[in-house]
Amino acid sequence: MRKKLLSLLILTVMITLLSACRGGGSTTEDPVEGEKIVLKYWNSLTGADGDVMRQLVKQFNDAHKNEIEVVETFVNEVDYYTNLNLLVPMRKGPDVAIMHSYLVQSYADEGLLRPIEPMLESSEIEIKAEDYITDIFNSLYFEDELYAIPLDVHTVGIYYNKTLLEKYDLEVPTNREELLAAANTVQAGEEDVWGLPISTVWPSEWIFTTSLYQNGGLEINSELNPAYNSPEGKAALEAVADLIHVEKVSPVNLSVDQDLFMFQSGKALFHIQGSWMLRSIIESKIEFGVIPLSNMFGTNTDTKNQISARSHTFVVPNDSTDMHELKEAAVMTFIKYMTENAYVWAQAGQIPASNVARATAEYQALPYLNGFGAIENFRVAAQSPYFHEAYSPIYSRVTQALANSNYNAQTLLTAAENEALQLLAEARQ
């Protein structure tokens, strides 16, 4: 009897399990005019900047009660793109998503994104190129179609310790010589303080790219092949690595964020860090200021002020089987609202890409952000669907150069170029 009961129990469990496995097929109902539209919005913003994003989404939802409801889902960056890669083809992706600007080209090339312009036309919502930072907006076209709208631009800058600078009666530097002189003065006068600690790992790829621009180099050439294995590339790599090995304003072998900790605890005069870390540096209660990386690595007359920048953009995945005109209009409304109200987002250290948002009194009142440099000096990655394959092999070589005083710049650049060419050969097949 007991056995029978047990078998019955197991049977029940099995049936429940099986039916649970079947999963629920979602049904799409035809939209009705005037009904609330629910949008699935995905992003990879999980840090302090994520809190600001939550706040902005709530603000949007409050402003569009009874019309549009945005449901936000966020996961960390590594899993985020994996999810997009796997779920969008399965038609289980979001209605609108955040994507880094340098990835837009390759996702558009794969056919994973919907062109924006037809949706703007059908919904009669105005998002105009001239209202955004021109270079960034233009970088989001792939084969003459617009695939993304920029939310922000983020970059790296030099944070300086105000207290130390004042103690030694030093001016805020405007070029490399002044920067090094200040670093050396403070390093000589203070025990335990470094002039400009640089982690070998991060954000060294940003620093190198900036240096590459300022030395007149290119990431990729017109055939979309690597172009950094050049005299300019060599000068760029040396200009960064020299700070550690020749100028000795940084200790060797700093790991990720060790430089940040040194700055936050007052053990560094200068610190090169992303604008996205602004909040965390404010929280450290250090008296600080920010100056741009312009004019710090190269002397090319046309480009010596340029700084590497990236952008978070809004994209519409090409999967929604239930995409209809009302939903398209809702997505466009959302994107327009978010970009134009990005002064809220700017609290997270991200500079709004929308000229409207940057012109607001709220944005103008925010401290530090202007220190990262003039908008026209921000330069986004060259456009190619194979940018990652062509350029990313240099990152680990930059780390090698920063970690070894006897590095050979030429060997490292050639190794990176060779790996890139092999990766490109596979990707283009």
Partner 1 sequence: MNADLVKKKKRIRNIKENLSAYSFLFPYLLIFTVFFIFPFIYGLIISFFDWNFFFPERTEFVGFENYFKILFNSDSIYYTYFWNGLKNTVIFVVMSVPLLVGIPLVLSLFIDQQPYGYKFFRTILFMPTVLSISSVILIWKWQFYNNGGFINALLVKMGFEEIPFLLQQPWAWLSIIVVTIWWTMGPNMVIFGAGLKNIDKTLYEAARIDGAGELHIFTKITIPLLAPQMLIVMITTVLASFSVYGQPDLLTNGGPNQSTSVLMMYIRPMAYGTNANPGVATSMAVMLGLLMITVSIVQSKIINRRDKA
Q: What are the residues binding partner 1 (CB under 8 A)? A: 3, 6-7, 10-11, 13-14, 17, 21, 81-82, 85-86, 88-89, 103, 106-107, 109-112, 200-201, 251-255, 258, 261, 385-386, 388-389, 396, 399-400, 403, 419, 422-423, 425-427, 429
Give me the residues paired with residue 310 across strands: 154
Q: How far is the CB of 3 from partner 1 (least distance, A)?
A: 7
Of the pair 321, 429, the CB lying nearest partner 1 is at: 429
Of the pair 28, 82, the CB lying nearest partner 1 is at: 82
- 348: which 2 tokens? 């997270």
Query: Three-state secondary structure along 218-260?
Result: CCECCCCCECCCCHHHHHHHHHHHHHHHCCCCCCCCCCCCHHH
Of the pair 27, 429, the CB lying nearest partner 1 is at: 429
User: Among 385, 352, 397, which Cα is nearest to 370's?
Assistant: 352
Tell me how far the alpha carbon of residue 225 is from its chain's centroid: 23
Q: How far is the CB of 17 from partner 1 (least distance, A)?
A: 7
Q: How far is the CB of 12 from partner 1 (least distance, A)?
A: 11
- 2: which 2 tokens? 């007991």
Of the pair 28, 85, the CB lying nearest partner 1 is at: 85
Give me the residues paired with residue 160 across strands: 270, 289
Question: CA-based angle 141:144:150, to the nearest 5?
Answer: 20
β 96-100/307-310 pair status: unpaired
Q: How far is the CB of 183 from partner 1 (least distance, A)?
A: 17
Of the pair 86, 374, the CB lying nearest partner 1 is at: 86
User: Among 98, 5, 163, 175, which Cα is nearest to 353's?
Assistant: 98
Q: How far is the CB of 110 from partner 1 (least distance, A)?
A: 5
Q: How far is the CB of 78 from partner 1 (least distance, A)?
A: 9
Classify 310 as helix, strand or coil: strand
Q: How far is the CB of 339 from partner 1 (least distance, A)?
A: 24
- Length in residues, the chain: 429
The position carrying tokens 């990879």 is: 44
Of the pair 178, 190, the CB lying nearest partner 1 is at: 190
Q: What's phi and psi for 313, nearest 5 deg?
A: -125, 160
**CA separation for the pair 337, 352 (Å, rounded):** 12
* Amino acid letter, 216: G
Q: How far is the CB of 382 from partner 1 (least distance, A)?
A: 16
**CA separation for the pair 222, 139 (Å, rounded):** 15
The string over 248-263, giving b where at least 16 C-beta atoms fall within 10 Å of a residue's C-beta and e elsewhere, is: bbbeeebeeebbbebb
> Could you tell me if 306 and 292 are in contact, meaning their C-beta atoms sit under 8 angstroms apart?
no
Of the pair 46, 258, the CB lying nearest partner 1 is at: 258
Of the pair 199, 275, the CB lying nearest partner 1 is at: 199
Of the pair 96, 254, the CB lying nearest partner 1 is at: 254
Q: How far is the CB of 427 from partner 1 (least distance, A)?
A: 4
DSSP 201-220: SSSHHHHHHHHHHHTT--SB
> Could you tell me if 274 and 154 are in contact, meaning their C-beta atoms sit under 8 angstroms apart?
yes
Q: How far is the CB of 42 from partner 1 (least distance, A)?
A: 16
Of the pair 73, 418, the CB lying nearest partner 1 is at: 418
> Could you tell me if 148 and 316 are in contact, meaning their C-beta atoms sit under 8 angstroms apart?
no
Q: In what order do the strands lie in the sheet with 37-43?
A: 68-74, 37-43, 96-100, 312-315, 149-150
Of the pair 82, 414, the CB lying nearest partner 1 is at: 82
Q: How far is the CB of 55 from partner 1 (least distance, A)?
A: 28
Classify 100 as helix, strand or coil: strand
